[in-house]
Amino acid sequence: MICAIKAEALSSGVISEIKMANREAGITEQIADLQGLIAQGVDAIVFAPVDPEALNAVIEEGAAQGIIMVSVDSRVTTEAAYVVSNDQVAYGANGAKWLFEQLGGEGKVVYMRGIDGVGADTDRDIGFQAELEKNPGIEVVEEVFTDWSPATGAQQALEIMNSTEFDGIWTSGIDYTVVPQFEVAGVDYKPVVGADNNEFLRQISDLEDEGFIGAAVTNPPAIGGVGTAIAIDLLKGNSHPQQTILDPAVFDMANNSEDVKQMYIPTLDVGSSSYIEIEPWTTYDAQQVIDCKGPGE
């Protein structure tokens, strides 16, 4: 996220400096950080909100001071912010649809969610439940919150594999640590839905011969780059709709094996998203994001 923002600012050539505030933020910290950035007199603030409503007052304050406020990744309810988000309802639905199709509309599914109460998780659940309703043969046998922590997800997956019979796993992006647990638990591979994590894409293509089927649903943190591109465009005086919604795509070996192989970047971290260049928005190339250098660095 941060690297995409830096890279987009750098490649735009018109941004002189980026100030970053990032703590393991609860609502309290994020409100304080946004206030701090407003006090800095910056021109635009790109942020990933932790709550859809609690930040509204500070966002409106920033907008009232003439700062362009761009909320990326999750939505906020105030119209004072430009919202750039992945369609999380579609994220939940597209992955679920793929999984239920793999199972022929019948089977037991493990449902590994994100953080309870966070907008993206709630929206994904709406999409997931809608698909579930269309498939009466599908039963959710386990539902857990991974808190989007790879370690937690791995542990939960292992416990479930050891104790429960199931036919497939839907994960909210905690995927690449779940896949190795099949081998640890000594059970056969079952279809797994995950996100565009680099290591997961490798697993999808490398483990195909061993019988593993997976699907990567795109949820690019490079959306920060998209938000930055829009903020810069707005600063130049152009106009944008208040909402920009990216539609998540599904990649698997059956339909787009070339893309899956191409998206894997060996030099990138396992947990990083490898879906980096987002057309038509971003202007950087993937290497600039990997370098993670902003203007003046």
Partner 1 sequence: MTAISSSEALGGSQLRDWLRHHGWTLGVWLLLGALVVWYSTLVPSFGGFELSLIVNNSLPIAFLALGQAVIVIAGGIDLGVGSMMVLTNVVAAKYMEGESFAVAILIAVVLIAAAAILNGIVGWIINVSKVPDIVITLATLFIFAGFALAILPSPGGGAPGRFRWLFTGSESGIGRNAWPAIIMLALATQVVGLWLVKTRNGLSLYALGSDPTAAYLSGVRNSKAKILSYAIGGGLAAMAGLATTALTGSGSPRLSIASTATLNSVAAIVLGGIALTGGIGSVVGASGAAIVLFILNPILTARGVDPNSARVIQGLLIIFVLMIAGVLEQRRQRRS
User: Which residue number, 191 or 221, has a Cβ lying nearer to partner 1?
Assistant: 221
Q: Which stretch binds partner 1 (CB under 8 A): 57-65, 96-104, 257-265, 274-282?
A: 57-65
Is residue 19 a contact point for partner 1 (CB under 8 A)?
yes
Q: For residue 250, what are the β-bridge partners?
A: 217
User: How many of the chain's residues bind partner 1 (CB under 8 A)?
Assistant: 31
Helix extents (H) in the chain? 2-12, 27-39, 56-64, 88-102, 119-134, 150-163, 180-185, 198-206, 223-235, 253-263, 286-291
Q: Report d(CA 80, CA 60) in Å as an integer.
A: 6
Token code pair at residue 222: 């490079």
Is residue 144 a contact point for partner 1 (CB under 8 A)?
no
Is residue 22 a contact point for partner 1 (CB under 8 A)?
yes
Min dist CB 57 to partner 1, Å, is 4
Is residue 61 a contact point for partner 1 (CB under 8 A)?
yes
Q: In what order do the strands lie in the sheet with 68-73?
A: 44-47, 68-73, 82-86, 243-246
Min dist CB 98 to partner 1, Å, is 27
Q: Report d(CA 142, CA 9) in Å as an integer.
A: 43
Is residue 27 a contact point for partner 1 (CB under 8 A)?
yes
Q: For residue 216, what are the β-bridge partners?
A: 194, 251
State which of residues 3, 4, 7, 37 lies at the interface with partner 1 (CB under 8 A): 37
Is residue 259 a contact point for partner 1 (CB under 8 A)?
no
Is residue 24 a contact point for partner 1 (CB under 8 A)?
yes
Min dist CB 3 to partner 1, Å, is 13
User: Which residue number, 58 or 157, has a Cβ lying nearer to partner 1?
Assistant: 58
In the block, tokens 């920033």 appear at 62
Is residue 39 a contact point for partner 1 (CB under 8 A)?
yes
Q: Report d(CA 8, CA 22) in Å as an integer.
A: 19
Is residue 21 a contact point for partner 1 (CB under 8 A)?
yes
State which of residues 3, 11, 28, 66 lies at the interface with partner 1 (CB under 8 A): 28
Min dist CB 126 to partner 1, Å, is 14
| Helices H / strands E in the chain, number of each | 11, 10
User: Which residue number, 17 or 101, has a Cβ lying nearer to partner 1?
Assistant: 17
Residue (of 188, 194, 193, 186) closest to 162 by Cα position: 186
Min dist CB 105 to partner 1, Å, is 31
Element (H, E) at 109: strand 107-113
Q: Report d(CA 30, CA 241) in Å as an integer.
A: 25
Q: Provide the binding-site residues for partner 1, judged by CB under 8 A.
A: 17, 19-24, 26-28, 31-33, 35-41, 51, 53-54, 57-58, 60-61, 116-118, 122
